[in-house]
Structure 1
């Protein structure tokens, strides 16, 4: 028979060990009843052990500790085998906001039964604050940059993540607008929900409303069943509206109504649907100019532009080029499981001298191009695309010789399947470059691909 004193001693020793850890530790049952709450958890959250033990996790903190990332909000999961790691923004008892790094694992007994979870968390607030003050943060949630303008953007991302207000991200093509939207989503209360990106310029005008808001059965020819739109798919998550200036005026009205009322109706439906969605929009053109031109509603502009974030072009933060190039080389190393060459000094100088019309995306493409072309342990100037070495300022489309591209036809800009296939083949499936070759806007090419099954399937195979 086990000595009860030994059990007590074991429990005391366990508590002693847990209280000396520099990690906050919380464990709770499948019913959310807290069974472990160590001293570091007290320090980080501001709540006392006696206030937490034996009580429902949600009742103690007056909300899910993990926010929208909580796995125990709607129903108790029977079992989850994978350890979950994610950032959490937490409001302490005194009202302070803390940025936590959370790790959650299942507690399984000897018979394989799910007994609850144990969560460990570390407070990164001071570390992040000090790095931002010193302007020494080189990356933030997947965004790379040490330039002063990027440090300010890191601060903005951290601050806006605490609120559900709409955010509008502006910047030239290739500056990383979707990356910023993803970072806001990841560290916000909506981070456990889906991140649903929508390229508003790529959806044919006739089906934009259905794509965004869904439709009921029989709403139009071909609507053989009810369909959820992007708003419903993003419930409890983030809807990212890229190229929002491309939305037709009719859809702008419906989007405005949703932002005002929080509800919408499906195409052909009469029932009002309510969803909890964080809206982040983006554009590579000035929305103010679109308003002046009559292409964008002024009232919608003010609704979307509550918190503006502007991304600088790469030519205005050239001191980040070595950092970004190194990051893309490491990324290529991981993707290809092979040692990558280093950048020669002369090569780096050429990269610093170039104006980068395609911004960070173009730099990534250049690094990938150079890695493929390089035959030694250093990337030499001769390994770079011609527009870099010649200083011509040409875009990345010139990486492939244009002289053997077929002419798109006598009326340049009018699309047909043959010319679109030829352009896509020559540009390696890159739709932006193919659109430039064809002499049309990117949105026009996307609409053609969406309306032509043969060309669309061909594009997917590339």
Structure 2
């Protein structure tokens, strides 16, 4: 199992070594052997489609099609035709019969992204497919039957949508037989260096460059940033950095302003003596500490495996601490 290995960095194309991601890897492997509908929940940019594809590719349906549909990108009329197909003459412009995504996914998997954006009328039609596996093409009375596994995803809280009357409760329970929650990048900061190592060579190749590295200062700032856009924003930040970087090393000044101007965790606001003295910002210099395996192991034990607290106790930046962990495999079981 992925968690037992402890050194897992990639599973089915997904990058991560954080405990939360290792649990996701194990869950993907279990779900791949099942045919139950899966609902993947998480913020925008966390990689929901990657997880859906991994569940498909690791299972018995891998030899058939994985068919993604962005339910939030199409108006209701077009979405119905896209999902269920149509017959010739069903509407203006329907010059021939067309299979829908459910038909194309027969024997495979259909991925309904942004399912929380589907209209109430379309929710009723989806409920029927999930219950009975049957539907009609637009403009046809012929009932078709399909065997398609349904994986859906949303960045909305569907229980809140149910309470607000915008999402059907019966459809929710049909979709959410097996829930998967993907953590945002800010909750697995230790994976940021791994993701950079994975993404930077790809971004560099696309730009016709190679041999690029990220400076310690830039990495520290990227570790401090909260990444509201998650992995997608990290990818975009590296693309931006390459536009500004003309050398072999991405520096702090090359990062997007929203990241470069983020106040680092080591910046403290100190009030000067006096009741009405102005607030001043001062940078506390991180003292140079030579890390050793025994000391890091002890710090992790005291912090009960919480790496951020261990790094803080040792007086080093998170980036330095994570690089040390990467270089010492014997510490992975502790962290």
TM-score, length-normalised on structure 2?
A: 0.76
1:390 pairs with one of 239, 248, 261 = 261
Matches within 5 A, 1:210-359: 210-336=81-207, 338-359=209-230
Provide the secondary structure at the position in 2 that maps to 1:348. Answer: helix
Work out the CA distance in 2 between the residues paired with 1:392 and 1:225. 58
Deviation at 1:386, TM superposition (A): 0.8
1:328-353 per-residue CA deviation (whole Å, 9 max, x = no partner) reads: 11222444553132111111000001
Provide the secondary structure at the position in 1 that maps to 2:93. Answer: coil
Matches within 5 A, 1:54-73: none
CA contact (8 A) 1:215 1:226 kept: yes
CA contact (8 A) 2:204 2:212 kept: no
Provide the secondary structure at the position in 1 that maps to 2:72. Answer: helix
Work out the CA distance in 1 between the residues paired with 2:102 and 2:221. 45
Work out the CA distance in 2 between the residues paired with 1:207 and 1:330. 39
1:183-223 per-residue CA deviation (whole Å, 9 max, x = no partner) reads: 11111111111111111111012222111101122222332
Deviation at 1:135, TM superposition (A): 2.9
Work out the CA distance in 2 between the residues paired with 1:233 and 1:361. 28
CA contact (8 A) 1:211 1:229 kept: yes
Pair 1:199-2:105 in alignment: no
The 1:355/1:297 distance shift into structure 2, 3 A limit, reads same
Specify the alignment match of 1:139 in structure 2.
Answer: 10
RMSD: 1.5
TM-score, length-normalised on structure 1?
A: 0.56
Deviation at 1:392, TM superposition (A): 7.2
Matches within 5 A, 1:367-378: 367-378=238-249
- How many equivalent pairs are there? 264
1:3-42 per-residue CA deviation (whole Å, 9 max, x = no partner) reads: xxxxxxxxxxxxxxxxxxxxxxxxxxxxxxxxxxxxxxxx
Pair 1:148-2:28 in alignment: no
The 1:236/1:183 distance shift into structure 2, 3 A limit, reads same
Provide the secondary structure at the position in 1 that maps to 2:60. Answer: coil
The structure that has the greater radius of gyration is 1
CA contact (8 A) 2:76 2:122 kept: no
Work out the CA distance in 1 between the residues paired with 2:197 and 2:254. 16
CA contact (8 A) 1:340 1:371 kept: no
1:64-120 per-residue CA deviation (whole Å, 9 max, x = no partner) reads: xxxxxxxxxxxxxxxxxxxxxxxxxxxxxxxxxxxxxxxxxxxxxxxxxxxxxxxxx
Provide the secondary structure at the position in 2 that maps to 1:282. Answer: strand
Deviation at 1:371, TM superposition (A): 1.9
Pair 1:176-2:26 in alignment: no
Provide the secondary structure at the position in 2 that maps to 1:369. Answer: helix
Provide the secondary structure at the position in 2 that maps to 1:201. Answer: coil
CA contact (8 A) 1:169 1:308 kept: yes
CA contact (8 A) 1:314 1:360 kept: yes
Work out the CA distance in 1 between the residues paired with 2:211 and 2:162. 47
Unpaired runs of 5+ in structure 2? 265-335
Provide the secondary structure at the position in 2 that maps to 1:340. Answer: coil
Work out the CA distance in 2 between the residues paired with 1:340 and 1:244. 41
Work out the CA distance in 2 between the residues paired with 1:291 and 1:353. 36
Work out the CA distance in 2 between the residues paired with 1:288 and 1:253. 17
Deviation at 1:156, TM superposition (A): 0.5
Provide the secondary structure at the position in 2 that maps to 1:296. Answer: coil
Unpaired runs of 5+ in structure 1? 1-128, 394-462
